[in-house]
Amino acid sequence: MSLFLVLFLLGVAWVLVVCCRALLAGRRSGRGPVVTWQLFQIIGSVAAIGSGTGIAVTGGWAALVIAVAVGGLLMTPSVVAATSGTGSED
C-alpha cells in the first residue's frame, strides 16, 4: 500500500509539473488539472482547519490561502488570454 501511495503521488507531481510547463508555454491544457488540484487543496485545508489541533490548523490556513490565491490568479483575464491562444487581453 505504501508503494502504491508513493507511486501515485509521484504521478500526481509529474502531472502538475507538466501542467505548469504547459501554462508557462501559453497552452491552456494545463489550466484544468491545476485548478482541480487547487480545489483538492481547499478541501484538504478545510479538513485540517476543522481538526482543531495547533499545527494542523496553522498549516490548513496557509494551504487555504495559497490555494485560493493560485486558483484566483488562474482565472484572471490576463492568464486566460495568455493561455487561450487569442492574444487579446479583454
Taking only the tens of pLDDT, the chain with its 90 residues reads 999 999 999 999 999 999 999 988 888 888 889 999 999 999 999 999 998 888 989 999 999 999 999 999 989 888 888 887 655 554
Closest CA to 71 of 34, 46, 43: 34
Q: What is the pLDDT of residue 86?
A: 58
**The pTM is what?**
0.79
Q: What is the pLDDT of residue 80?
A: 84
- Distance of CA 11 to CAs 8, 18, 36, Å? 5, 11, 15
> Residue ranges per domain, the chain?
2-84
